[in-house]
């Protein structure tokens, strides 16, 4: 594929869920990547869409302003505005969309609409400008769990996905049952360190293709906790580390089983993870081991590019411009 000459300076905006983010990319390099996390949802155990939209409205101007200041790029140097079109929460997306389109119209420059999942995959190119194609990407976030065969910067196919909950959602719902704040994934990850990964039994899901299912596991955790709490009301408090370690291990093993099957059947020698759950330390280790076992190249994003951010939106737009 011949690439066009790049003269772009992109301002990117991401507002698909509960993080308001802005980034600046100049000539293929990320110069600023700012995120305003919304703490308001912690107390509710999940994202409240109306509160998320309101917080985006409050955060968007300061976040864009900060990204521009940090990048030392002036508003008149920007050649394109990229923003997340979807999928995501309607009201949240609308804040980013309106802001980005209004700014592009005012500056009389084009805007580029970006698919959120494509952006999570593109996050890998920030550190790997010349990835080995095709590669298999395990995309794991709060809303999606997919195995994607990435053929080129702009071409990919989904070969497997969750039939019910996303794995991030399973982390968060498990955390909620344990009384941990939202988002629960990072709390489970931290508490699981050094815990017993086989403290109690959880079922293994084994679907015939490359799909995933987490709802049965979630029910099994709920039943286990209810039963144990009847015997000992302090069961969770006294065993939190081991429960987190077992829950996390079970979720990761379910991901790895299907991903390994896909690697074998597609005979692909380049693998990657992306999305919020790719920040999970047990998953990162498991992917490294899988790469060694199957002699594959591995791509794992830096922590700042795992959870929602605008740098991934910017790099995605950049590849649309040059390819
Ligand atoms: O990609 P992301 O920021 O937003 C969506 O597109 O959904 O992913 C958020 C998800 C949440 O479910 C959060 O609990 C999970 O990523 N997450 C983690 C970790 N860090 C974030 N899950 C497990 N371990 C982590 N370290
Ligand atoms: Zn995301």
Instruction: Encode pLDDT of 243-289 as tens digits.
Output: 999 999 999 999 999 999 999 999 999 999 999 999 999 999 999 99
DSSP 318: H
Nearest ligand by distance to the CA of 276: 1
pLDDT for the residue 313: 98
d(CA 210, ligand 1 centre) in Å: 21
Least reliable range by pLDDT among 110-114, 163-167, 207-211, 309-313: 207-211
d(CA 281, ligand 1 centre) in Å: 12
Cα–Cα nearest to 309, from 18, 9, 10, 2: 18
Tokens found for residue 238: 């006294």
- Residue minimizing CA distance to atom 16 of ligand 1: 276
User: For the packed helices 184-192 and 167-177, what is the interaxial angle rounded to 10 degrees?
Assistant: 70
Q: How far apart are CA 37 and CA 48, in angstroms?
A: 14
242 close to 195: Cβ distance less than 8 angstroms:
yes
181 close to 42: Cβ distance less than 8 angstroms:
yes
96 close to 15: Cβ distance less than 8 angstroms:
yes
pLDDT for the residue 178: 98
Best of 142, 145, 161 to mutate for ligand 1, by most ligand atoms within 8 A of CB?
A: 142
Best of 96, 146, 173, 183 to mutate for ligand 1, by most ligand atoms within 8 A of CB?
A: 183
What distance lies between CA 242 and its chain's CA centroid? Answer: 26
**pLDDT band (50, 70, 90) for residue 41:** confident
d(CA 88, ligand 1 centre) in Å: 14
- Residue minimizing CA distance to atom 24 of ligand 1: 280
Ligand 2 is an ion; its neighbours by CB within 5 Å are 141, 308
d(CA 80, ligand 1 centre) in Å: 29
Measured from the Cβ of residue 98, the count of other Cβ atoms closer than 10 Å reads: 14
d(CA 283, ligand 2 centre) in Å: 17
Average pLDDT of the chain is 96
Q: How far apart are CA 186 and CA 181, in angstroms?
A: 10
Q: Which residue has the tokens 């905006």?
A: 13
pLDDT for the residue 1: 57
Cα–Cα nearest to 161, from 200, 212, 233: 212
- Residue minimizing CA distance to atom 10 of ligand 1: 142
Q: Which atom of ligand 1 is nearest to the CA of 169?
A: 12
Nearest ligand by distance to the CA of 166: 1
**pLDDT band (50, 70, 90) for residue 7:** confident
d(CA 215, ligand 1 centre) in Å: 17
d(CA 105, ligand 1 centre) in Å: 34
d(CA 140, ligand 1 centre) in Å: 8
- C-alpha neighbours within 13 Å on the C-beta side of residue 109: 17
Tokens found for residue 221: 């955790």
Pocket (CB within 6 angstroms of ligand 1): 17, 141-143, 168, 171-172, 183-186, 189, 275-277, 279-280, 307-308
**pLDDT band (50, 70, 90) for residue 2:** low
């Amino acid at each position: 594929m011949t690439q066009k000459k790049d003269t772009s300076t992109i301002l990117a905006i991401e507002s698909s869920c509960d993080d308001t983010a802005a980034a600046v990319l100049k000539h293929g390099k990320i110069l600023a990547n700012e995120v305003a996390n919304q703490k308001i949802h912690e107390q509710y155990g999940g994202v409240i869409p109306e509160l998320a939209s309101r917080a985006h409205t409050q955060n968007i101007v300061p976040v864009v302003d900060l990204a521009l200041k940090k990048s030392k790029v002036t508003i008149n140097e920007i050649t394109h505005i990229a923003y997340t079109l979807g999928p995501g929460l309607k009201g949240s997306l609308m804040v980013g969309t309106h802001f980005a389109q209004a700014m592009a119209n005012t500056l009389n420059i084009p805007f580029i609409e970006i698919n959120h999942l494509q952006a999570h995959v593109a996050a890998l190119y920030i550190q790997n400008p010349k990835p080995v194609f095709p590669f298999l990407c395990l995309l794991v976030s709060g809303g999606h769990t997919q195995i994607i065969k990435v053929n080129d910067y702009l071409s990919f196919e989904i070969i497997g996905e969750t039939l019910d909950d996303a794995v991030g959602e399973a982390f968060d719902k498990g955390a909620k049952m344990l009384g941990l704040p939202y988002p629960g994934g990072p709390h489970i990850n931290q508490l699981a360190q050094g815990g017993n990964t086989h403290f109690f039994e959880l079922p293994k899901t084994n679907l015939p293709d490359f799909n995933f299912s987490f709802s049965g596991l979630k029910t099994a955790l709920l039943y286990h906790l209810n039963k144990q709490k009847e015997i000992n009301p302090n069961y969770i408090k006294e065993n939190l580390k081991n429960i987190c370690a077992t829950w996390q291990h079970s979720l990761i093993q379910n991901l790895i089983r299907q991903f390994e099957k896909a690697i074998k059947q597609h005979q692909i020698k380049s693998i990657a993870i992306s999305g919020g759950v790719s920040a999970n330390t047990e998953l990162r280790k498991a992917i490294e081991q899988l790469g060694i076992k199957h002699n594959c190249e591995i791509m794992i994003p830096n922590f700042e590019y795992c959870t929602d951010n605008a740098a991934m939106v910017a790099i995605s737009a950049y590849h649309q411009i040059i390819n």
